[in-house]
Structure 1
């Protein structure tokens, strides 16, 4: 018969229970830190959640990020904490489904140029490539106003030294085959090249997004578009702020039903349609575009349209031409201008060709039609409202320019901006060529 006191037995049992509890907590903590498996956040939220924590003394946090997408990318939530994540490997996180992604910290891309040039992910168009493919159905990416993607862009601006479309220079983020999805509250700083490419996607809302890709030395921040669309339908941009050295937002091949609203652009080129018509004998379109309530500070234009000539000279990304198709039903309305600098607040050119080569500007068969430019106010650095060089082989038609109240601040005293440059423009409304 045991003579062990009851109090000793009770203490032993409690000690064993406490040890089991501590072991369980430590195991769960390790799982959460490394995102090896989803954890349940509580009874009020049945979604599995992967909390991504940076690895101790690691120079590359990509493995734990990819684990989080693997384990919680279907029906789960992925949370980036208020930490700095080092990204030194390409990421392909596509095919997500019903996934929520919250970014509270900063993802910063490494400076190993040779790695990115040899491993960036190809888009299959214009020889462009990307550092991160992200896509799927019903995904929500939230930055809460401070979640940041930092591309360490100055490294790239210095490296390419103004060279256009340097091969395999990666885009910061490619939204790839996304449907019924929302991206909001994100910050992009010093993007490596184009900030965001939306491709092969439908029904995507991108709102409350800040982009700043500017050079801090004499090397230009060229090819730092705020966003580009191609092969995509029903894409909406709302409340964007873009500070950069190239297109603020650009719509390229097969972009349809695009809305850009309530946004502010600094220093770049403004809203761009194109370039397009770069691939010989390939038929492409840009159709049903609505751009409304835009404020521009020191941009080259309010909006401009550019196509390649009808003659192929070289090959993409820096050469080409001879493409077919049309851009139609384009509306630009309610622009407020502050010191636009180039010739014409609104600009059309069908003369794009290989750098340094003079092409025939009257050969393009890509047609531009049904374009509306209305209600534009403010001050500009030119006496021209619009400069439009359309192709004689396929003249522009149905262009409306009305409700313009611009002052030319380049003159002393200031004068009203009211001139138009036109070639091969038919059926105008509100102005005469």
Structure 2
């Protein structure tokens, strides 16, 4: 018995040593390669150093921006990243050489728009830590274009391009040159804790300063955004599907936009499966709205077009709190968009709008209309559900908002036109 126990103890000792030896011989994972971007002398272009950092560490590495101001005086393309982490502790400040940007901004292939920075890849994590900032020096652009819409060559701040399974968190965007960001050809992307402020400090309007636009993208989540701007807070354009916008606060812009869409003649486009919930709106023009071009082509993008086909379907807007001075409908549909300054045929669009829920809306507004819906006679809006509305006209009046304006709306639920 004594020998047997010792025998087992010896075996246990030998096995434990073998396990320890085996464990110690296993290869340990290598630490991530880290590229710290060094700032150059004042006013010198830091874009080449940034491009080099992504080239060195864009595949399985970490790109770090220090708590400094980096001057961006040339376009950047950092796409094709793989398993890359970015830590932005400072500010990327775009230059004001308008001639350069008009001649060199990167085309995005939609609406004749262009971008200052193409960024993207798979399994990318971009952290701003709540203070890392992209500053587009936008006032220079607002003054230059003087309110002209979609000025050719005026770039978006950043285009998130062909990006999958990625996270953007805690980033600040101020004074964007045009749209703050376009999210294109991307899937399964989370954008959380994002701050956008693109507002003018003089008489020139901050037009076209959308907080974000999705195009040809699927499964995009906007969580805890704050947007203060002069145009769409967040806009969902061609072939945007499975989009969630939640727990966000919007100031002064137009609200959440579906469109514009239907701008390309005979092109089939769609927006489908959208949920917008937990929104607080301060002085936005609408809570949400849907905008399509007419069925007649007049001119070409970016400021002309029309005649596109397709649909917007399964759109849910719920749990909005309004602190709003809008003088139009809180929920708005128009199918009358056409070339600037031209009166179009509002009944000509074949783009169909259907299956919409607009519910649980509370607060006060500056209009008597819960909804103003100007749908196309050629393709009426169908299955619109509006209910659980608790709005008053102005905070002091306490007059309930109960009216509807409808054209070519069929199969309504919760209200009558």
Q: TM tier, shorter chain?
A: over 0.9
Deviations 1:123-177 (A, max 9, x none): 0000000000000000000000000000000000000000000001000010000
* Residue number in structure 2 paired with 1:183: 168
Does the 8 Å CA contact 1:296/1:340 hold for their aligned counterparts? no
> How far is 1:413 from its partner?
3.2
The corresponding residue for 2:100 is 115
Match of 2:109 in 1: 124
- Superposed displacement of residue 59, structure 1: 1.3
1:305-357 CA-to-partner distances (Å, cap 9, x unmatched) read: 00000000111110000000000000000000002413110000000011110
Structure 2 residue matching 1:394: 3-state secondary structure = coil
Q: 2:273 corresponds to which residue?
A: 288
Alignment match, 1:366:
351
Equivalent position SS for 2:67: coil
Are the structure 2 counterparts of residues 57 and 248 from structure 1 closer, same or farther at C-alpha, using a change threshold of 3 Å? closer
The Cα offsets for residues 31-80 of structure 1, whole Å up to 9 and x where unpaired, read as xxxxxxxxxxxx99611000111023451111111110000000000000
Long gaps (5+) in structure 2? 1-27
- The residue number in structure 1 matching 2:233 is 248
Match of 2:314 among 284, 307, 329: 329
- Structure 2 residue 79 is matched with structure 1 residue 74: no
Larger deviation, residues 45-54 vs 323-332: 45-54
Q: Corresponding residue for 2:20? A: none
User: Which residue in the other structure is 1:17 paired with?
Assistant: none
Alpha carbons 1:385, 1:419 under 8 Å: kept: yes
272, 275, 278: which one aligns with 2:260: 275
What's the counterpart of residue 386 of structure 2? 401
CA distance in 2, matches of 1:305, 1:263: 19
Q: Please give the alpha-carbon distance, in whole angstroms, between the structure 2 residues aligned to 1:147 and 1:44.
A: 29
Structure 2 length-normalised TM: 0.92
* Equivalent-residue separation in structure 2 for 1:416 and 1:355 (angstroms): 36
Does residue 421 of structure 1 match 2:405? Answer: yes
Match in the other structure for 2:17: none
1:13-24 alignment runs, 5 A limit: none
Q: Distance in 2 between matches of 1:188 and 1:330?
A: 27
Deviating 4+ runs (over 4 angstroms):
none
Partner of 2:23: none
Q: How many residues align?
A: 390
TM (norm. structure 1) is: 0.89
Unaligned runs of 5+ in 1: 1-42
Partner of 1:26: none
Asked if structure 2 preserves the Cα contact closer than 8 Å seen for 1:305 and 1:347, the reply is yes
- Aligned Cα root-mean-square deviation (Å): 1.1
- CA distance in 2 between partners of 1:105 and 1:210 (Å): 15
Counterpart of 2:71 in structure 1 is 86
